[in-house]
Amino acid sequence: MEAIEIIAQCIGIVAMLFNILSYQGKSQKAVITMQLFGASLFAINFLMLGATVGGLLNILGAIRAFVFIFKEKLKTDRLPWFIVFVSLYIAVYILNFTLFGKEVTLFNLIIELLPVIGMTALNIGYRLKNAADVRRLGMVSSPAWLIYNIAAGSWGAIICETLTLISIFVGILRHDKKIT
């Protein structure tokens, strides 16, 4: 393994920690802030490893998180923000098969769509009012990314999404389900 790959993997581990721990935040802003750091680091990680689409989607994820941290000021609950981000995710999907030269097969078309679905689900969660909503939509996003990562053979990302799902479940039990 070359030095650049080792550095990239270390950055990916730190990114993974931010993403996993994000679901333990009590407020929506805390969840989103942790995900901003995770997405930023995963963008660097993927780009260092030559995974352009993963890098681009994570750059968009970091931008999305930053915008939604300031949701009251920027009025991100409005439909135009949602349309802009989803359009950008779709553009990355299309560029994957055109500019980046991914082979067009039924399998690739489906698998490459999963992270777009994941990004869209969290975008919906960010527009809503509380951390519980983000966690619930994480139950769409995380499995979509997990399936994509399994198909891509990315073990670090598989572990991240597996642990993220566990973290979401713990967050739901701790914060969303009242035990009487």
- Between CA 39 and CA 65 the distance in angstroms is 9
Q: How many CB atoms lie within 10 A of CB 6?
A: 10
Query: Which of 39, 23, 44 minimizes the C-alpha distance to 89?
Result: 39
Predicted confidence (pLDDT) per residue in 80-136, tens digit? 998 999 999 999 999 999 999 889 999 989 988 998 999 999 888 877 778 888 888
| All structural domains of the chain with their residue ranges | 3-176
Find out whether 22 and 38 touch, Cβ atoms under 8 Å: yes
**Looking at residue 178, what is its pLDDT?**
64
CB burial of residue 129 (10 Å; 0-12, 13-18, 19+): exposed
Predicted confidence (pLDDT) per residue in 30-65, tens digit? 988 999 999 999 889 888 877 778 889 999 999 988
Find out whether 98 and 72 touch, Cβ atoms under 8 Å: no
